[in-house]
Structure formats: structure tokens, C-alpha cells
Amino acid sequence: MRRSVAYPLAAVAAVAAPVLVAAPASAHGYVSAPPSRQALCATGAVPDCGPIQFEPQSVEGPKGLKSCDGGLSQFSVLSDESRDWPATSVGTSVPFRWVFTARHRTSNWEYFVDGTKVATVDGGNQQPDAVVTHNIDLSKFKGRHTVLAVWNIGDTPNAFYSCIDLNIGGGGDGGSQPAPTGEPTRAPAPTTQPTTPAPASSSRPPAPTGEPASGRTWKAGETYKTGDVVTFNGARFRCRQGHTALPGWEPSQFTLALWLPL
């Protein structure tokens, strides 16, 4: 069922050349919080993970494995203990959240700590809810441990594997964040901007003509406010909607709602 095809990854910045990637299969899922190893790769918290960073949901292998990589050589980084995976500090009852991109009927979910099964959650051979959280009691463990979470599919011989590195009993109780109530005041500055275009300046020549404040070059990761002006590929654009710039959101015909050509 698993086949391989070559296709170029569009994230040119991240990948030098087209690489061979396993074709996504039809069911997908992984543990998003506390972050599994593939989630840490996808966020870039752990760098240079290879193709898994683009498809953290694809660690699929036959049922019964005890490996973080599902037996897939292209994802073997997930089993590489020399990567010094950061451990998330959690309490003794840990909520594990799953992300699904397709929801197959589920036999069950299993959780192992250092190879020993600590919990089984029945899936009733039903399609799971879109958001699944399991609270797992890890009070018998203290300190640093690796949890293997397994999603056993009901209608295929396969399972999906996620390894989560934890520092148990080392942090707040209740796990990484059962409810993120604590941080309403993270970034008070840029309130959501209404989409009204900024005061219309008269149309200007495309070349920046002696305007000191508006010549910044568009850059991923920057936070832009409505009215900010950037240059990109020699043209100038005004921000119409406050946002943090992402790769793929540079000014273009696809992002006219964010960037108005000047």
C-alpha cells in the first residue's frame, strides 16, 4: 500500500534538491502536544530532520512495532537518540493530543513507557473525533522518559507511531497545557487589523524614491501592521491585513488580501 513517488518539495528554501519522499498514505495522525519528535521536527525546534518535517503525520508502519520511526528508513532520525530530543516537563497525569489529517476507524491507542505498556484506549473500531485527547496516568514514573504512543488502525494492518520525550513530575501538574489559560497577555501590541486599506497615498512609481521608512524588504517571520510598506522583487506593496509573514505568504497574486501592489 505504501508506494514511493518522487515529487519536488515546494519549500525550496528548506530543501536544495527534489528528494524522494514516501507518498502519503490514506490515514494520518500524530501526537501534537506534548510535542512528539515529529512535531518538534515540523516546528523546527529540532533542526535537520529530513522529510519528516513536512509530513509529521506519516509515521505509519505495521502494527506491533516498538519504534519511534515506524520502521521507515526515511524517518530514522526519529529513533536517533543522539539527537538529544528536548523533554517536555509535565505532571503525572498527562493529556496527549492527537492531530489527524484523515480519520480511519480505530482499533485502539496504546501508550508505552520505556517499552512497557501503561495504557490502552479503546477506539471501538469507530472513526475518532477530530480532536482526541487522552489523559494518561504516568505517576509511576519520574524524570526523563520516552513515551511511545501508537494509533492502531481498525481497517488496515497498520499503525501510526509517535514518540514523546517527557520529564515526568518535573513541571506543572496536569501536563504540558491542559488548558492554556495562563497567557492572555502575550503580545498586546498589534490588534487584529480591520481590512480597510490604509489611507490611500497617491500611487507612486514602483522604484522607492527617497522614502526612508518604507523601503524594508519583505521577510518571513516579520510582523507587519496594516499600512506597512515593503519591497519584494523590486516592487512595493502595502500591508492590508496585520499578520506575521510566513513562507508562501510573500506578495503575489495569491496574497492580494495581505499585500496591495503600489
39 binds another protein (CB under 8 A): yes
Q: In the set 96, 100, 218, 237, which binds another protein (CB under 8 A)?
A: 100
Nearest distance from residue 71's CB to another protein, in Å?
A: 19
Among 17, 73, 84, 186, binds another protein (CB under 8 A): 186
Q: Is 77 in the site for another protein (CB under 8 A)?
A: no
Cβ contacts of residue 198 below 8 Å, gap of 6+?
226, 227, 238, 239, 240
Rounded CA-CA distance 136/131 in Å is: 16
Among 37, 42, 77, 96, binds another protein (CB under 8 A): 42
If one asks whether residue 86 binds another protein (CB under 8 A), the answer comes out as no
Total residues belonging to the chain: 262
What burial letters (b/e) apply to 188-219, b meaning 16+ CB within 10 Å? eeeeebeeeeeeeeeeeeeeeeeeeebeeebe
Applying CB under 8 A, does 20 fall inside the site for another protein?
no
Strands 235-239 and 60-62: unpaired
Residues within window 101-130 making contact with another protein, judged by CB under 8 A? 101-105, 125-127, 129-130
Options 74, 79, 108, 177; binder of another protein; rule CB under 8 A: 177
Planar angle of CA 239, 241, 245, nearest 5 degrees: 70
**Which of 192, 202, 203, 209 forms a contact with another protein (CB under 8 A)?**
192
d(CA 44, CA 225) in angstroms, rounded, equals 25
- 171, 89 contact by CB (below 8 A): yes
**Residue 212 CB contacts under 8 Å (≥ 6 apart), including other chains:** none
Kindly state the smallest distance separating residue 92's Cβ from another protein, in Å: 19
Answer yes or no whether residue 150 interacts with another protein by CB under 8 A: no
CB of 155 to another protein, least distance (A): 6
Nearer to another protein, 82 or 185 (CB): 185
Which amino acid makes up residue 210? Answer: G
* 3-class secondary-structure state, position 171: coil
- Strands 28-33, 243-244: pairing is unpaired
Shortest Å, Cβ 211 to another protein: 25
Of 59-67, 143-151, 182-190, 228-236: span binding another protein (CB under 8 A): 182-190
The alpha-carbon radius of gyration of the chain (Å, integer) is 23
Q: Which of residues 214-243 bind another protein (CB under 8 A)?
A: 220, 240-243
Stretch in the footprint of another protein (CB under 8 A) among 67-75, 96-104, 162-170, 228-236: 96-104
